[in-house]
């Protein structure tokens, strides 16, 4: 179960904190993108819509787009307007480029065709970043600095994870130049100042583009879940930046794990299933490698969802790791669901000192898993027994 | 004698327990559904949901029905969430249209997916919901449905996202309502197009219902938002009990029903419609099923009595119903008198919104024997929804007229400032509010009683909702709490669009939406 190209483009563009996204589409696409994004931040509304209606479908949506561009230019005090065209204008053939070029605006405008029928969310994210990259400028390289690529503003735990990842990198003497896409317009424009692009699951096309255009090399790494995953992550970056191992001082401690070590013993070998975007594989690695869980089913969002559900039903899975979409199957199978990947719309994560990534994240994640198991209602378990 | 006393006592205990259970039911829904629905409603300041989401929800209200979205993968991805209860993700199939299908047509894909959906889910009904893309490419959905053979019912529901209501619809609708407040014979009998729910109702009536032998004294009741209606379970139970006492049988509760019950809906003599009536009009034309629409004037003591008698008259049961209704009404009045003793000798102010039912809701508070001294009405939010000044003025004018006609005797204050509100609060003993401005008032030291539960009790068929509300209010005014400084009241809000934050981006997004929405389909 995956989102479409429009969603990917929207998530990439809305990650630039002072940009406005103008969706050229009927009301529903605008609404869906807004609802999924804003469960994570209800105070951050920076989007507009051309509200394509039957009249625009019949006579074309170009006038509506022109009108929206002029109004948005006046209403928003922002440096960037990202225009994303959905399915409807693409099918009817609106000439978006011509409209954008026909109006004089006081801000940068980047437009992209993100018709949902053309591709999936991942592709939309990749293409949108490449479109936005034309705003980047040649910069003087800042030594031992990196850009982190692959984030979205509505990823679960994104603020807490980034805080922890930056703490670890800074501790190793590495500066984070820009997080893409969760940065200011200024930071995005100056992204080529980084010595290295670190691609964390997605954003490879942007990294390739920046390598070609600005000579910034890139490194693809897994998401830093767990003690081992985090160590691998830091080591890989340090190695690339020629930072000596002794400088890194990887500072994880085991005190927190000692307090609950008997529970971890008891849960060793627990059969679990994992589904999600690129985070899923790194999560499965942590669960397998560090908690000793047996991975019964591991699926990407792009795989057939019905098959995933059937496979989980046919497995011994006792904990499910995924997004809010897995709530139903978890309820059906009477097993706990640990939410870790987009979209999460039935949990909030506003405390940014409780990450899932990094060394501190390993503790929080373990705590979350144990609480999910230990707090799981006896009612649900009994129901299962009596069935 | 002792036995009878005990029986009476048991009846009172049982009635008390029933009320507690009914109120618990509503508060549970307010908490567990409201936590999602409330914010979703606020997001309407920046956009509205797609027609498709309403269709998806409505189809899933029917037992063992599966929606098949005929469109690209993105449509079911976000319509799997209902706007009302976001975590309630649903069983949903999709044709996953690609660029090839846009060029060559998606009919083959639809054929395949109909078979595939049946083989995976074994539903009793598959409802095909076209999207913007299949609507634009002109796929012959009806044709495909007729030719594909799967052992379940197939339904076509027009759900293209671009065919939503236009900006003037709500304005026209509210204007007609405001006129009807003073002349209920002119009650508007049409609906707002394009939320998807009505489209499903009408499609079911047109495509699935079958001619039946009519069962005397039986009704179909529209269940509005079904499982997402606050207190729905209790509401339905109470209605069934009430109708049974009058001698009326429930044929089906539409859409909270099975596929078979949908087909057999024409067996009823009467449809009691709520939200929209196009489906009921169609059933009248096609099957001769009469209908009655529940609307604003069926509220309060008089309204409830009228509703019961109007329903009974459709079955020529006036005589039986009159006796029963009068007994029920007197019982309710006695209870309201009893609870009313808690309210007499106190002054109340009511802070409420201007909307479809406003003067009739206010009148219902008076039925509860609550002495209102002031009623403050907020109409600013109507502006946000493109309601014209002319309509708002008409609404206020007609409320003022009804205050005089009905001799309601309170002072009406329209859009008071926070200072004015504060002054009003000082002049009364209790402030009631069914709107979400409570934190602001309480920060100013105005103690407010939350009456948001009222709207779910006012419109239940029968008198029990009114009595339950009176009991709740009587308990509630006795409860004191310490002065509050709510965290949410510490935030800075926009002066006009409460509870929008005073944030330039939020305000610009609101203004942008408002402008673009009002430009469409002028």
CA distance between the termini of chain A: 30
Model confidence pLDDT, tens digit, residues B143-167: 999 999 999 999 999 999 888 777 6
Q: Do A34 and B132 touch (CB under 8 A)?
A: no
My answer on whether B437 and B480 are in the same domain is yes
Per-residue pLDDT tens over the stretch A11-27 = 999 999 999 999 999 99
Name the residue among A43, A53, A121 with its Cβ closest to that of B164: A53
Q: What is the pLDDT of residue A128?
A: 98
Interval B208-237 mean pLDDT: 85
CA distance A45 to A78: 13
What CATH number did the domain enclosing A159 receive?
3.40.50.1980
d(Cα A123, Cα A114) in Å, to the nearest integer?
9
Contacts with B357 (C-beta within 8 Å, 6 or more apart), sequence order: B296, B299, B458
User: What's the pLDDT score for residue A387?
Assistant: 38
Q: What number is the average pLDDT over the span B328-356? A: 91
Question: Does residue B2 carry a pLDDT above 70?
Answer: no
Across B274-282, average pLDDT? 88
Sequence-distant (≥ 6) Cβ neighbours of residue B419 within 8 angstroms: none
Number of domains in chain A: 3
Q: Are A324 and B89 an interchain contact pair (Cβ–Cβ within 8 Å)?
A: yes
Give me the residues paired with residue B290 across strands: B270
Q: Which of A110, A135, A160 is the last residue of a domain?
A: A135
- For residue B509, give both structure tokens: 């997004």
Predicted TM-score of the model (pTM): 0.92
Question: Averaged over A236-244, what is the pLDDT?
Answer: 93
Nearest Cα to A318, choosing from A360, A287, A343?
A287
pLDDT band at A246; cut points 50, 70, 90: low
DSSP-derived secondary structure letter, B151: S
Residues 208-237 (A) with a CB less than 8 A from some CB of B:
none
Closest CA to A326 of A351, A354, A345: A345
Higher pLDDT, B496 or B393: B393
Percent of chain A with pLDDT over 90: 88
> Which pLDDT band, with edges at 50, 70 and 90, does A292 fall under?
very high
Q: What is the pLDDT of residue B1?
A: 42
What SS3 state is found at B128?
strand
Residue B265 pLDDT: 97
Which chain B residues are Cβ-neighbours of A313 within 8 angstroms? none
Across residues A138-152, what is the average pLDDT? 97
With a cut of 70, say whether residue A383 has pLDDT above it.
no
Q: How many domains does chain B have?
A: 5
Tens digit of pLDDT for each residue in A53-71?
888 898 999 999 999 999 9
Same domain, A31 and A54: yes
The verdict on residue B282 lying in a domain is yes
Q: Is pLDDT at A299 greater than 50 in this prediction?
A: yes
- Select the residue of B77, B87, B97 nearest A117 (Cβ to Cβ): B97
Q: What is the pLDDT of residues B79-88, one digit of tens each?
A: 877 666 665 6
Position A273 pLDDT exceeds 70: yes
Q: Single out the residue of B463, B454, B410, B408 nearest to residue B434, CA to CA.
A: B454
* Assigned domain for B335 exists: no
Mind listing the pLDDT tens digit for each residue in A75-114? 999 999 999 999 999 999 999 999 999 999 999 999 999 9
Within 8 A of A77 by CB-CB distance, chain B residues are: 504, 508
Residues B146 and B237 in one domain: no
**Percent of chain B, pLDDT > 90?**
50
- Which A-chain residues 318-347 have CB contacts (< 8 A) with chain B? 324-325, 327-328, 345-346
Q: Tell me, yes or no, whether A182 lies in a domain.
A: yes
Cβ proximity of A202 and A334 under 8 Å: no
Spatial separation of the C-alpha atoms in residues B377 and A320, rounded to whole Å: 49
CA-based nearest residue to A346, from B82, B59, B226: B82
Identify the helix (H) or strand (E) that includes residue B291.
Answer: strand B290-293
Q: Which of A111, A135, A159 represents a domain boundary (last residue)?
A: A135
B216 in the same domain as B80: no
- Answer with the residue of higher pLDDT: B8 or B208: B208
A272 and A377 within one domain: yes
Best to test chain A binding among B132, B491, B511 (most A CBs inside 10 Å): B132
Question: Following DSSP, what letter does each residue of B192-222 receive, concatenated?
Answer: ---SSHHHHHHHHHHHT----PPPTTEEEEE
Last residue of one domain, picked from the residues A248, A277, A300:
A248
Verify that B347 and B381 share a domain, yes or no.
yes
Query: Are B306 and B435 members of one domain?
Result: no
Lowest-pLDDT range of A224-238, B121-135, B240-254, B332-346:
B240-254
What is the mean predicted confidence (pLDDT) over A143-163? 97
Q: pLDDT tens across A200-236, in order?
A: 999 999 999 999 999 999 999 999 999 999 999 999 9
CA–CA distance from B360 to each of B182, B257, B406, B459 (Å)?
11, 31, 11, 11
Which of B135, B156, B177 finishes a domain? B156
Q: Tens digits of per-residue pLDDT, B181-203?
A: 998 887 776 666 668 888 999 99
What mean pLDDT is predicted for residues B384-394? 87
Q: Are residues A266 and A375 in the same domain?
A: yes
Query: Closest-CA residue in chain A for B164?
Result: A53
Query: What is the rounded average pLDDT of the residues A180-203?
Result: 97
* B260 and B365, same domain (yes or no): no
Looking at B122, B156, B190, which one is the last position of a domain? B156
Are A285 and A329 in the same domain? yes
Residue numbers of the domain that contains A211? 145-248
Same domain, B173 and B137: no
The Cα-based distances of B369 to A252, B323, B349, B412 in angstroms read 67, 24, 13, 18
B394 to chain A, any CB pair closer than 8 A? The answer is: no
Do A222 and A313 fall into the same domain? no
Q: How confident is the model at residue B375 (pLDDT cuts 50, 70, 90)?
A: very high
Instruction: Report whether pLDDT(B342) > 90.
Output: yes
Q: With respect to residue B507, please indicate whether it lies within any of the assigned structural domains.
A: yes
pLDDT on residue A385: 47
Closest listed residue to residue A9, CA positions, set A172, A104, A119? A119
Task: Please state the separation of Cα B406 from the chain's center in Å.
Answer: 26
A157 and A114 in one domain? no
Give the closest-approach CA distance of B116 to chain A in angstroms.
11
| Whole-number pLDDT of residue A386 | 42
A179, A147 Cβ separation under 8 angstroms: yes
Please identify which residue in the block is written with the tokens 């209800």: A42
A212 & A313 share domain: no
Cross-strand pairs, A139: none
Q: Could you tell me the pLDDT band of residue B411, with boundaries at 50, 70 and 90?
A: very high
Instruction: Pick the range with the lowest mean pLDDT from B303-317, B380-394, B401-415.
Output: B380-394
Are A48 and A68 contacting, i.e. CB atoms less than 8 angstroms apart? yes
Asked if the C-beta of A28 comes within 8 angstroms of chain B's C-beta atoms, the answer is yes
- A99 and A179 both lie in a single domain: no
CATH number of the domain encompassing residue B479? 3.40.50.1980
Residue A299 within any structural domain of the chain: yes
Are A84 and A7 within 8 A, CB to CB?
A: no
Average pLDDT, chain A: 93
In a domain, residue B334? The reply is no
pLDDT score, position B10: 60
- Residue B73 at interface with chain A, using a CB cutoff of 8 Å: yes
Please check whether residues B379 and B443 belong to one and the same domain: yes
Touching check for B81 and chain A: CB below 8 Å?
yes
Q: Assess if residue B229 is contained within a domain.
A: yes
Residues B500 and B445 in one domain: no
Digit-coded pLDDT (tens) for A27-48: 999 999 998 887 778 999 999 9
Q: Do B136 and A50 touch (CB under 8 A)?
A: no
The pair of structure tokens assigned to B495 is 């002066």
- Chains A, B: CB pairs < 8 Å: 194
Least Cα distance to B47 among A252, A381, A63, A52 occurs for: A52
Same domain, A113 and A11: yes
Residues B77 and B195 in one domain: no
Same-domain check for residues A169 and A217: yes
Q: Is residue B163 part of a domain?
A: no
Q: With beta carbons under 8 A apart, name residues in chain B contacting A325.
A: 80, 89
B-chain residues near A56 (CB < 8 A): 162, 520
Could you tell me if B283 and B394 lie in one domain? no
Three-state SS string over chain A comes to CCCEHHHHHHHHHHCECCEEEEEECCHHHHHHHHHHHHCCCCCCCCEEECCCCHHHHHHCCHHHHHHHHHHHHHHCCCCEEEEEECHHHHHHCCCHHHHHHHCCCCCEEEEEECCCCCCEHHHHHHHHHHHHHHHCCCCCCCCCEEEEECCCCCCCCHHHHHHHHHHHHHHCCCEEEEEECCECHHHHHCHHHCCEEEECCCCHHHHHHHHHHHCCCEEECCCCEHHHHHHHHHHHHHHHCCCCHHHHCCCCCCHHHHCCHHHHHHHCCCEEEEEECCHHHHHHHHHHHCCCCEEEEEEECCCCHHHHHHHHHCCCCCEEEECHHHHHHHHHHCCCEEECCCCCCCCCCCCCCCCCEHHHHHHHHHHHHHHHHHCCCHHHHHHHHHC
Asked, for residue B185, whether it belongs to a domain, the answer is: yes
Q: Which of residues 55-74 of A touch B (CB under 8 A)?
A: 55-57, 64, 67-68, 71-72
Among the listed residues B232, B214, B212, the one whose alpha carbon sits nearest the alpha carbon of residue B224: B232
Between CA B388 and CA B452, with CA B424 as vertex, the angle to 5 degrees is 65
B322, B350, B365 - which closes a domain: B322
As a whole number, mean pLDDT of residues B52-60 equals 90
Question: Hey, of B78, B97, B121, B131, which one would you mutate to test binding to chain A, going by the most A CBs within 10 A of its CB?
Answer: B78
Please write the tens of the pLDDT for every residue from B228-254. Answer: 778 877 778 888 888 888 889 999 988
Let me know whether A110 and A202 are in one domain: no
Q: What is the model's pLDDT at position B13?
A: 62
The reply to whether A354 and A294 lie within a common domain is yes
Interval A262-273 mean pLDDT: 96
DSSP letter (8 states) at residue B501:
B
- ipTM surpassing 0.90, yes or no? yes
Q: Domain range for residue B67? A: 45-156
Q: A140 lies in a domain?
A: no
Cis peptide before A288 (omega within 30 of 0): no
Residue B352 pLDDT greater than 50, yes or no: yes
Evaluate whether A226 touches A234 at the Cβ level (below 8 Å): no
Q: Does residue B97 share a domain with residue B7?
A: no
The listed range with the strongest mean pLDDT (A128-137, B170-179, B289-298, B480-489) is A128-137
Tokens 């379970």: give the residue: B233
In this complex, is the C-beta atom of B69 within 8 Å of any C-beta atom belonging to chain A?
Answer: no
């Amino acid at each position: 179960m995956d989102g479409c190209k429009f969603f990917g483009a929207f998530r990439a563009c809305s990650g630039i904190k002072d940009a406005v996204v103008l969706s050229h589409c009927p009301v529903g696409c605008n609404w869906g993108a807004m609802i999924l994004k804003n469960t994570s931040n209800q105070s951050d509304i920076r989007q507009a819509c051309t509200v394509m209606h039957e009249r625009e479908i019949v006579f074309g949506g170009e006038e509506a787009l022109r009108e929206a561009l002029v109004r948005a230019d006046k209403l928003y005090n922002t440096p960037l307007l990202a225009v994303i065209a959905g399915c409807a204008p693409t099918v009817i053939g609106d000439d978006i480029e011509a409209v954008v070029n026909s109006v004089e605006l006081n801000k940068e405008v980047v437009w992209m065709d993100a018709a949902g029928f053309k591709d999936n969310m991942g592709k939309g994210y990749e293409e949108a970043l490449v479109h936005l990259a034309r705003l980047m400028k040649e910069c003087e390289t800042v030594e031992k600095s990196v850009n982190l690529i692959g984030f979205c503003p509505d990823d679960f735990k994104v603020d807490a994870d980034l805080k922890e990842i930056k703490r670890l990198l800074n501790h190793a003497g590495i500066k984070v130049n820009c997080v893409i896409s969760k940065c200011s317009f200024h930071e995005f424009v100056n992204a080529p100042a980084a010595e290295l692009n670190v691609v964390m699951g997605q954003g490879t096309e942007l990294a390739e583009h920046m390598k070609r255009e600005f000579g910034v090399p890139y490194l693809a790494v897994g998401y830093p879940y767990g003690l081992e995953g985090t160590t691998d992550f830091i080591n890989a970056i340090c190695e690339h930046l020629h930072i000596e191992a002794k400088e890194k001082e990887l500072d994880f401690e085991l005190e927190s794990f000692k307090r609950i070590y008997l529970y971890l013993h008891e849960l060793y070998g627990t059969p679990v299933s994992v589904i999600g975007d690129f985070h899923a594989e790194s999560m499965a690695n942590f669960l397998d490698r560090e908690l000793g869980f047996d991975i019964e089913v591991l699926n990407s969002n792009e795989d057939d969802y019905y098959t995933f559900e059937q496979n989980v039903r046919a497995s011994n899975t006792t904990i499910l790791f995924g997004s809010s979409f897995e709530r139903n199957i978890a309820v059906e199978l009477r097993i706990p669901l640990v939410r870790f990947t987009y979209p999460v719309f039935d949990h909030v994560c506003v405390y940014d000192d409780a990450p899932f990534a990094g060394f501190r994240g390993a503790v929080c994640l373990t705590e979350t898993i144990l609480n999910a198991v230990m707090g799981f209602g006896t009612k649900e378990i009994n129901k299962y027994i009596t069935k | 004698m002792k036995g009878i006393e005990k029986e009476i006592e048991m009846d009172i205990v049982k009635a008390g327990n029933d009320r507690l259970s009914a109120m618990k039911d509503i508060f549970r829904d307010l908490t567990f559904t409201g936590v999602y629905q409330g914010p979703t409603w606020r997001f309407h300041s920046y956009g509205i949901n797609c027609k498709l989401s309403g269709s998806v929800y409505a189809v899933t209200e029917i037992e063992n029905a599966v929606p098949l979205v005929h469109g690209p993968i993105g449509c079911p991805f976000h319509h799997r969430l209902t706007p009302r209860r976001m975590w309630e993700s649903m069983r949903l199939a999709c044709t996953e249209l690609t660029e090839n299908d846009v060029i060559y047509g998606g009919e083959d894909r639809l054929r395949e997916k109909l078979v595939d959906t049946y083989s995976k889910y074994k539903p009793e009904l598959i409802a095909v919901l076209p999207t913007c893309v299949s609507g634009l490419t002109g796929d012959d959905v009806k044709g495909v449905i007729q030719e594909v053979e799967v052992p379940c019912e197939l339904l076509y529901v027009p759900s293209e996202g671009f065919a939503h209501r236009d900006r003037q619809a709500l304005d026209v609708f509210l204007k007609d309502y405001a006129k009807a407040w003073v002349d209920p014979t002119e009650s508007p009998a049409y609906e707002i197009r394009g939320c998807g729910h009505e489209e499903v109702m009408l499609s079911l009536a047109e495509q699935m219902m079958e001619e039946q032998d009519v069962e005397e004294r039986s009704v179909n009741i529209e269940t509005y938002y079904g499982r997402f209606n606050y207190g729905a379970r209790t509401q339905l139970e109470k209605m069934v009990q009430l109708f049974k006492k009058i001698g009326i049988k429930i044929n089906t509760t539409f859409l909270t029903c099975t596929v078979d019950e949908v087909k057999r809906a024409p067996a009823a003599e009467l449809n009691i419609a709520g939200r929209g009536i196009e489906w009921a009009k169609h059933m009248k034309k096609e099957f001769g099923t009469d209908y009655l629409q529940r609307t604003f004037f069926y509220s309060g003591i008089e309204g409830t009595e009228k509703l019961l008698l109007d329903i009974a008259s459709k079955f020529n049961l006036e005589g039986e119903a009159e006796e029963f209704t009068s007994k029920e009404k007197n019982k309710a009045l006695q209870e309201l008198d009893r609870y009313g003793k808690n309210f007499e000798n106190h002054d109340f102010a009511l802070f409420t919104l201007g909307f479809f039912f406003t003067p009739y809701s206010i009148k219902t508070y008076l039925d509860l024997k609550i002495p209102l001294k002031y009623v403050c009405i907020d109409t600013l939010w109507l502006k946000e929804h493109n309601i014209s000044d002319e309509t708002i003025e008409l609404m206020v004018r007609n409320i003022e007229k009804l205050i005089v006609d009905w001799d309601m005797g309170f002072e009406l204050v329209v859009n008071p400032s926070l200072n004015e509100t504060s002054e009003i609060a000082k002049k009364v003993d209790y402030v009631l509010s069914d709107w979400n401005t409570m934190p602001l008032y309480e920060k100013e030291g105005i103690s407010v009683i939350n009456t948001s539960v009222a709207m779910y009790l006012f419109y239940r068929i029968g008198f029990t909702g009114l009595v339950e509300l009176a009991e709740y209010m009587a308990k509630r005014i006795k409860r004191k709490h310490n002065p509050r400084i709510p965290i949410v009241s510490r935030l800075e809000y926009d002066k006009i669009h409460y509870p929008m934050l005073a944030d330039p981006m939020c305000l610009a997004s609101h203004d942008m939406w408002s402008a673009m929405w009002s430009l469409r389909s002028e």
